[in-house]
């Protein structure tokens, strides 16, 4: 669906802008600050975090009206009527240039696990318990060592100036900010803020940026970003259509942030969104889609060690694996019968 691909593109760009074009936050948080000042400090400090570990939990729920659902889609509803879960852990360090990602996805009794590791300019992926090296494949796509994976992709100061010249303040996208109170997370004193993002403002500002040639050249000088996201650049007519449509699709959207008193870096972020069909349109049998996500951060700016897998196969072996027979379907069928997880 073209509208959906544009929406995904906008969400990705908005998230990038929010964490790269904030103001200059302080080194700590104080109850004397206004909630908006605290939020700006948290965003700025978190964007400058150099290393840490994280746990992620996301749940997607599709709400169906079975009375309106076409008969041929009942099997689809039986699979997706229960929540789809995604959970995992991540360790990362800009200084030592490492990433270790382990994720598990589950739906309808099927659980799939996989992993990714990055050590400087080398990449590996774990599929069905087997590690494969992806370094050469990443270089071929233009996102590997040839481009300097750990280099800054653009001049942040120039980037921020372009946004400021357009009169756009990304921190305002989070809308009304309320201080819930001072709390403790894992023995760390934090301030809990809750936000109600302004979807209409987000869409308006992002659309303006997308149509500003100087900004887009600075953001994506080669065009590789849009290619990587997997979406052709929307036409002005499509942008106008989606801009008018999207705010009415959001039935609920909240974001909560817990920032540490000592350094203002976020220790926990939760978000909940409920999206319905575009106003005036119907999707047979689907009333809404709800997504809830929690990210918890730990080991902030501490040493993180990640090593290459002890044993791994070349990328060509992974290509051969996916090129044979029905691919993953036998494994999915086997897992569906007993609910046991399998590695992916």
Question: What is the C-alpha to C-alpha distance for residues 112 and 26, in angstroms, rounded to an integer?
Answer: 41
Q: What is the pLDDT along the chain (344 residues), one digit of tens a residue?
A: 455 556 666 666 677 677 666 555 456 788 889 999 999 999 889 888 899 999 999 999 888 877 777 777 776 777 677 788 999 999 999 888 999 999 999 887 788 899 999 998 899 999 888 999 988 877 665 544 444 556 665 667 777 888 888 888 888 899 999 999 999 999 999 999 999 999 888 888 888 887 788 887 877 777 666 665 555 666 777 777 777 888 888 888 999 999 999 999 999 999 999 988 877 776 667 788 899 999 999 999 999 999 999 999 998 898 888 775 444 433 333 333 344 444 44
Question: What is the C-alpha to C-alpha distance for residues 13 and 9, in angstroms, rounded to an integer?
Answer: 6
Question: What is the C-alpha to C-alpha distance for residues 253 and 196, in angstroms, rounded to an integer?
Answer: 6
Cα radius of gyration (the chain): 22
Three-class SS state of 266: strand
Whole-number Cα distances in Å, 148 to 52, 85, 115, 218:
21, 33, 22, 18
The answer to whether residues 244 and 269 touch, using CB atoms and an 8 Å cutoff, is no
Kindly state the helix (H) or strand (E) to which residue 264 belongs, with its residue range. Answer: none
Nearest to 257 by CA among 44, 21, 17: 44
């Amino acid at each position: 669906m073209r509208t959906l691909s544009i929406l995904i593109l906008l969400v990705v760009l908005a998230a990038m802008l929010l964490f790269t074009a904030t103001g200059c936050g302080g080194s700590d948080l104080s109850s004397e600050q206004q909630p908006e000042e605290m939020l700006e400090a948290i965003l700025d400090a978190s964007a400058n975090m150099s290393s840490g570990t994280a746990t992620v939990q996301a749940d997607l729920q599709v709400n169906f009206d079975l009375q309106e659902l076409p008969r041929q889609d009942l099997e689809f509803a039986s699979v997706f009527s229960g929540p789809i879960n995604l959970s995992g852990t991540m360790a990362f360090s800009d200084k030592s240039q490492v990433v270790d990602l382990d994720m598990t996805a589950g739906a309808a009794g099927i659980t799939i696990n996989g992993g990714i590791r990055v050590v400087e300019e080398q990449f590996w992926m774990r599929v069905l318990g087997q590690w494969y090296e992806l370094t050469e494949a990443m270089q071929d796509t233009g996102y590997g060592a040839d481009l300097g994976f750990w280099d800054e992709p653009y001049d942040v100061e120039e980037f921020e100036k372009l946004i400021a010249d357009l009169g756009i303040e990304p921190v305002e996208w989070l809308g009304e900010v309320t201080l819930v109170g001072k709390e403790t997370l894992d023995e760390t004193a934090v301030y809990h803020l809750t936000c109600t993002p302004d979807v209409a403002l987000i869409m308006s500002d992002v659309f303006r940026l997308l149509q500003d040639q100087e900004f887009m050249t600075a953001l994506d000088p080669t065009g590789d970003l849009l290619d990587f996201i997997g979406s052709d650049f929307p036409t002005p007519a499509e942008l106008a259509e989606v801009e008018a449509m999207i705010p009415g699709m959001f039935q609920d959207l909240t974001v909560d942030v817990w920032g540490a008193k000592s350094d203002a870096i976020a220790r926990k972020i939760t978000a909940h969104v409920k999206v319905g069909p575009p106003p005036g349109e119907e999707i047979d049998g689907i009333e809404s889609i709800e997504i809830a996500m929690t990210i918890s951060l730990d080991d902030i700016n501490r040493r993180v060690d990640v090593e290459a897998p002890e044993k791994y196969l070349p990328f060509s072996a992974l290509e051969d694996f996916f090129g044979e027979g029905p691919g993953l379907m036998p494994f999915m069928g086997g897992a569906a019968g007993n609910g046991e997880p399998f590695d992916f």
